[in-house]
């Protein structure tokens, strides 16, 4: 019995609904919702590209886990079907991670309804936050065992009765004494065994080919299906006519090697993406809040600043906040790189996405509802599903390759017949061309390596945020390093105040509105006054209204710009602060400079060794927004001081004219420079802007870990080049051999599978120390 929707054979007993039989749950749901002809109609909703142009804030995002994705064609199907659902604006899916990202309108459809709505695409879906059972590979394993058993029997019968005569080891007449066994029982047994292989073991191949045809997007399964059916059909016709010119072994070999290869490939992908899955499952889209003496779960997007959220033991912290009650041991490894749980108590801040290992907490949501895990999950999903750079080129090659190979196979068969070859030779040449011309090596070369690299980086506490980070900066000419927060800890503290209490009160009120590290230190001095109408002067300071006074806090350059004179007495006092011993922030209001506050941060203990090591390989320059010397200058090749944020980006662009540039920074004011560099590295506790602008995030306090990042990027870059080189070499050698008839379809199937497994093996190798071409 065939499936009503897709036409494939059904299970025994079949899935039935309203008098129709279906091969799988997906076909049943698609037919129930849309009927047989609507599946691949063009979607009328907004495309992903259009959705990207929509104003932010009106739509929400959700991540879903998907069961039943067979190949990259499933991505296309899911995306096209999802946008048919009213309320879903756009959808993007990743075969590598079995995940989909849905952008939806909460006024039309609720997040809890997305899973049921997406069943129309023929897959089982579940919100990532609901967890997902461990991947059950028992059916795949059963299919593999059946394939090995029946395929092995086919090959044994060929070895016993066919290959000896093909190779000239014995004469065909030598089998006359066992004629019935050799000429009837063995061929028909091979026919039966191969038929089982085609119906059961090769079902995923034919399903993928059918999806490709219905979606009008040819894929590798189409090539395989044509090859299998051509070899099988030719052999059946020869068997019926009484001929023993049979090629069941070709069909069996194709099915067997592809099944083995895909089983190994799925295992490699699962291992490569396990860290990303951990992050997706840790991302909590709901928060538990107090409600009338009880608790209720509320979507994160509905939380308000200042609300209290309850987190119990074993749960993920949904948003950033401050502990108001309880204490706990918290696993922050994904956020900060800290390998061990840390103790947190009332008054301390916690990061959304970290996990409560022991204890329970009540936290107060900060001034903005923000989750580090939300940002991290989105960044990492985009990395794994992106097709930028060489991956985009490889995808285009793979898409063009399939129809091109089909045309080439037809031409080869036609030319073989035209030049006097018999139909047997023409069939074999065409089959070999179809089988050997595998775009899988192109399709796997980069995404699997990227998945392995991202996973390895996460295990080291390094976050790759750009899909083409592995392709960037193969040879580094210049490294630009931001001072505050990178070479120093960025934790400023007040060491001296020139002036009375009014100075600290007015300055603290203004600086409480500013995110700058110096401002945070000054803001801790006093909380008695409030400020508004903040005006930031990048690289110089800030101004605001405090109790009807126009207050300015900042550098000498800010006061010069304002035209506010600095009294000679105050200037003499601040002159005692030696360069590198502190930062002087002048404080004044209503045109008069009243005093100054001196702050200082601590240098990282390892900064000097890190900079000296970097200088052995490339030019290293210092970027700083401060105008005064800081004590770091003697260890750099060039120093750019007093540079505002927009100026840092201009410096990077200028440096890029002289070669490849890497920028290392941490704050929001570094974001333009990080984006302008060939490779941007956000270090420490980077702000959201810096993290989004960077290609790599290195959380934590150990500056020397940038060498781990360089080593990792270089290793994965080398593997990508090796994979692409192997793919090009394989096709350059194998296709001409197949076209000229020098490659048998059986060996073509083995070569095709071996090439894919070679890429899988090379991509999945463990990373062992820095390669020779890394910065060391």
Catalytic residue set: 482
Separation of alpha carbons 602 and 139, rounded Å: 59
Cross-strand bridge partners of residue 296: 289
E strands, 629-684, where?
Answer: 638-640, 661-665, 679-684
Element (H, E) at 117: helix 114-117
Token digits of residue 659:
């070669």
Question: What is the torsion angle, in degrees rounded to the nearest 10, for the CA atoms of residue 442, residue 446, residue 452 and residue 455?
Answer: -140
Which is it for the CA torsion 508, 509, 510, 515, positive or negative? Answer: positive
Number of residues that this document lists for the chain: 776
Token digits of residue 48:
């992903």
Token digits of residue 639:
């120093």
Question: Taking the CA atoms of the chain, what radius of gyration do you get in angstroms?
Answer: 33
Residue 680 has a CB neighbour count (10 Å cut-off) of: 29
Separation of alpha carbons 300 and 743, rounded Å: 60
Q: For residue 82, give the 3-state DSSP assignment.
A: helix
Q: How far is CA 60 from CA 56, 63, 110, in A?
A: 9, 10, 10
> Contacts by 50-58 with C-beta closer than 8 Å and gap 24+?
50/90, 51/89, 51/90, 51/103, 52/90, 54/89, 58/105
Task: With CA atoms as reference, report the closest residue to 670 among 684, 682, 657.
Answer: 682
Burial of 740 (0-12, 13-18, 19+ CB in 10 A): exposed
Q: What angle do CA 252, 256, 260 make, to 5 degrees?
A: 175
Separation of alpha carbons 526 and 494, rounded Å: 12
Q: Using an 8 Å Cβ cutoff, are 48 and 91 in contact?
A: yes
- Is there a cis peptide before residue 13, judged by omega within 30 degrees of 0? yes
Q: Using an 8 Å Cβ cutoff, are 472 and 613 in contact?
A: no
Q: Using an 8 Å Cβ cutoff, are 328 and 356 in contact?
A: yes
Separation of alpha carbons 690 and 680, rounded Å: 9
Backbone φ, ψ for residue 738 (5° rounding): -70, -40
Q: How far is CA 190 from CA 380, 536, 578, in A?
A: 49, 81, 90
Burial of 188 (0-12, 13-18, 19+ CB in 10 A): exposed
Q: For residue 480, give the 3-state DSSP assignment.
A: strand
Separation of alpha carbons 244 and 247, rounded Å: 9
Separation of alpha carbons 665 and 676, rounded Å: 12
Cross-strand bridge partners of residue 684: 699
Q: How far is CA 179 from CA 160, 188, 242, 417, 535, in A?
A: 13, 13, 13, 33, 98
Separation of alpha carbons 553 and 596, rounded Å: 9
Give the orientation angle of helix 706-739 with respect to helix 423-436, to 10 degrees.
170
Helix %, strand %, coil % of the chain (to 5): 50, 20, 30
Burial of 293 (0-12, 13-18, 19+ CB in 10 A): exposed
């Amino acid at each position: 019995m065939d499936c009503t929707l897709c036409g494939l054979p059904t299970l025994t007993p079949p899935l039935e609904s309203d008098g129709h039989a279906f091969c799988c749950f997906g076909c049943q749901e698609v037919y129930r919702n849309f009927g047989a002809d609507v599946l691949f109609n063009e979607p009328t909703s907004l495309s992903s590209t259009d959705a990207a142009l929509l104003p932010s804030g009106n739509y929400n995002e959700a991540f879903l886990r998907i069961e039943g994705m067979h190949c990259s064609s499933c991505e296309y199907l899911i995306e096209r079907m999802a946008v048919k659902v009213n309320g879903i604006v756009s959808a993007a899916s990743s075969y590598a991670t079995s995940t989909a990202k849905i952008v939806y309108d909460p006024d039309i459809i609720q997040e809890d309804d997305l899973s049921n709505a997406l069943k129309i695409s023929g897959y089982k879906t579940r919100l990532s936050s609901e967890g997902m059972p461990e991947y059950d590979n028992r059916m795949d394993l059963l299919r593999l065992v059946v394939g090995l058993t029946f395929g092995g029997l086919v090959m044994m019968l060929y070895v016993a009765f066919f290959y000896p005569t093909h190779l000239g080891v014995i004469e065909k007449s030598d089998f006359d004494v066992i004629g019935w066994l050799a000429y009837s029982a063995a061929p028909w047994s091979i026919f039966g065994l191969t038929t089982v292989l085609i119906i059961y073991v090769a079902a995923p191949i034919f399903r993928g080919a059918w999806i490709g045809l219905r979606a009008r997007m040819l894929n590798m399964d189409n090539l395989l299906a044509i090859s299998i059916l051509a070899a099988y059909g030719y052999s059946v016709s020869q068997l019926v006519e009484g001929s023993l010119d049979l090629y069941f072994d070709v069909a069996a070999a194709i099915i067997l090697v592809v099944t083995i290869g895909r089983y190994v490939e799925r295992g490699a992908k699962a291992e490569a993406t396990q860290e990303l899955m951990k992050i997706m499952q840790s991302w909590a889209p709901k928060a538990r809040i107090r409600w009338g003496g009880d608790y209720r779960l509320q979507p994160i997007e509905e939380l308000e600043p200042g609300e209290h959220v309850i987190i119990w033991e074993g749960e993920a912290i949904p948003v950033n906040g401050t502990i108001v009650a309880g204490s706990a041991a918290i696993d922050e490894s994904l956020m900060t790189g800290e390998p061990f749980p840390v103790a947190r108590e009332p008054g301390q801040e916690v990061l959304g996405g970290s996990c409560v290992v022991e204890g329970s907490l009540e936290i107060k949501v900060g001034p903005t509802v923000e989750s580090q895990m939300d940002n991290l999950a989105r960044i990492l999903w985009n990395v794994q599903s992106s097709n930028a750079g060489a991956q985009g080129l490889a995808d285009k090659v793979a898409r063009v390759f399939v129809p091109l190979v089909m045309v080439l196979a037809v031409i080869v068969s036609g030319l073989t017949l035209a030049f006097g070859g018999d139909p047997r030779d023409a069939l074999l040449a065409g089959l070999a061309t179809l089988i050997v011309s595998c775009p899988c090596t192109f399709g796997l070369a980069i995404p699997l390596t990227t998945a392995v690299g991202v996973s390895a980086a996460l295990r080291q506490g390094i976050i790759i945020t750009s899909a083409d980070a592995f392709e960037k900066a193969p040879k580094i000419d210049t490294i630009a390093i931001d001072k505050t927060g990178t070479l120093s800890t960025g934790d400023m503290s007040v060491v001296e105040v020139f002036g009375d209490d009014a100075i600290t009160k007015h300055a603290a009120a203004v600086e409480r509105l500013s995110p700058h590290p110096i401002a945070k230190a000054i803001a801790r001095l006093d909380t008695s006054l409030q400020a508004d109408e903040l005006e930031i002067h990048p690289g110089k300071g800030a101004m605001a209204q405090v109790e009807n006074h126009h207050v300015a806090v900042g550098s000498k350059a800010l006061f010069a710009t304002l035209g506010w004179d600095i009294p000679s007495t105050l200037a003499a006092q601040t002159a005692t602060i030696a360069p590198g011993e502190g930062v002087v922030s002048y404080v004044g209001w209503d045109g008069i400079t009243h005093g100054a506050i001196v702050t200082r941060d601590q240098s990282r203990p390892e900064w000097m060794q890190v900079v000296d090591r970097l200088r052995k390989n490339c030019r290293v320059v210092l970027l700083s927004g401060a105008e005064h010397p800081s004590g770091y200058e003697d260890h750099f090749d060039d120093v750019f001081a007093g540079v505002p944020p927009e100026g840092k980006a201009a410096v990077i662009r200028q440096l890029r004219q002289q070669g490849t540039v890497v920028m290392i920074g941490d704050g929001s004011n570094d974001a333009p420079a990080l984006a302008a560099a060939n490779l941007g590295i956000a270090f420490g506790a980077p702000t959201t802007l810096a993290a989004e602008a960077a290609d790599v995030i290195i959380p934590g306090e150990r500056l020397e870990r940038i060498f781990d990042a360089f080593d990792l990027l270089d290793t994965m870059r080398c593997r990508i080049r090796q994979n692409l080189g192997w793919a090009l070499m394989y096709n350059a050698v194998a296709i001409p051999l197949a076209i000229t008839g020098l490659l048998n379809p059986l060996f073509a199937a083995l070569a095709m599978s071996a090439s894919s497994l070679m890429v899988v093996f090379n991509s999945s190798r463990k990373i062992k120390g820095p390669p020779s071409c890394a910065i060391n």
